[in-house]
């Protein structure tokens, strides 16, 4: 099986999982106020500004982007995470990981129970490691894998700490997952949430496919049969079918 066929099979499997949970969520009674207009995606767009050497990633929603944030659990185990996620066709090595199978995504997240950006002081209180930083919308590179153990069908790919083959960017948060905390600026304005990514941070790859997803994730530190960070609900998908149909606009 060649690499192109493998990637198609991965995307097909993930598409089936996402559509299943998406349709289930529509059929079920809402259990919290997270499933609202703030996570109903209208449009997603990535624009490359050649003069500045950056890409601007944007998701627009029906409601107010970033207004709804998770309610604190009070502990790491079971901690809720809300995210606006850009699944892409980028490769893991493009964002600083070793070459590994999975879907490279840029996730803009909020979570009040922990801080996973120890290098960045998002609330500017002088302490870059306090939990309050986690509540402010911030970016993560992640590698997603199909995972039938969770309702959303996806989780962040994990690894064994002793595995010498694993390569992480210097800005990673120190967790045994393919996750990075790159510190890109995130801005919420009305219906839009945006993040700016310098070209050199994605190996100058400015032509790739992508999609947009709004989702609920959760941390697990106690159950061996569950992933450390899994997707449990999908609120909306920009394309409607996770086909990654969008291309970077060149300006």
Provide the pLDDT for residue 132.
76
Provide the pLDDT for residue 5.
43
Look at the alpha carbons of 116, 179, 246, 20 in this order and tell me if their dihedral is positive or negative: negative
Low-confidence ranges of the chain (pLDDT < 70): 1-32
d(CA 138, CA 142) in angstroms, rounded, equals 13
Provide the pLDDT for residue 119.
85
Q: Can you say whether residue 183 is alpha, beta or left, with left for phi > 0 and alpha for psi between -120 and 50 degrees?
A: left
Can you list the pairs that 171-175 forms with residues at least 24 positions away whose Cβ atoms lie under 8 Å?
171/119, 173/116, 173/117, 173/118, 174/118, 175/116, 175/228
Indicate the pairing of strand 41-49 with strand 249-250.
parallel
Closest listed residue to residue 217, CA positions, set 83, 126, 72: 83
Provide the pLDDT for residue 138.
97
Provide the pLDDT for residue 24.
42
Provide the pLDDT for residue 32.
62
Residue 65 in 3-state DSSP? coil
Answer yes or no: pTM beyond 0.75: yes
């Amino acid at each position: 099986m060649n690499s192109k066929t493998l990637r198609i099979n991965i995307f097909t499997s993930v598409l089936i999982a996402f559509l299943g949970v998406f349709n289930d969520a529509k059929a079920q009674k809402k259990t919290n106020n997270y499933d609202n207009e703030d996570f109903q995606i209208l449009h997603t767009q990535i624009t490359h500004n050649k003069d500045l050497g950056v890409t601007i990633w944007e998701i627009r929603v029906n409601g107010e982007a970033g207004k709804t944030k998770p309610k604190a659990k009070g502990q790491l185990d079971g901690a809720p995470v809300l995210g606006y996620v850009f699944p892409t066709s980028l490769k893991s090595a493009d964002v600083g990981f070793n070459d590994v199978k999975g879907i490279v995504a840029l996730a803009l997240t909020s979570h009040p129970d922990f801080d996973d950006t120890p290098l960045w002081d998002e609330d500017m209180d002088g302490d870059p490691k306090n939990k309050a930083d986690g509540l402010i919308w911030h970016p993560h590179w992640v590698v997603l894998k199909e995972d039938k153990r969770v309702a959303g069908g996806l989780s962040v790919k994990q690894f064994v700490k002793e595995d010498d083959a694993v390569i992480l960017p210097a800005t990673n948060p120190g967790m045994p997952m393919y996750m990075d905390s790159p510190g890109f600026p995130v801005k919420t304005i009305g219906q839009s949430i945006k993040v700016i990514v310098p070209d050199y941070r994605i190996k100058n790859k400015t032509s790739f496919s992508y999609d947009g997803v709004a989702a609920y994730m959760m941390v697990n530190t106690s159950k061996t049969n569950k992933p450390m960070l899994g997707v449990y609900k999908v609120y909306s998908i920009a394309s409607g079918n996770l086909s990654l149909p969008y291309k970077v606009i060149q300006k």
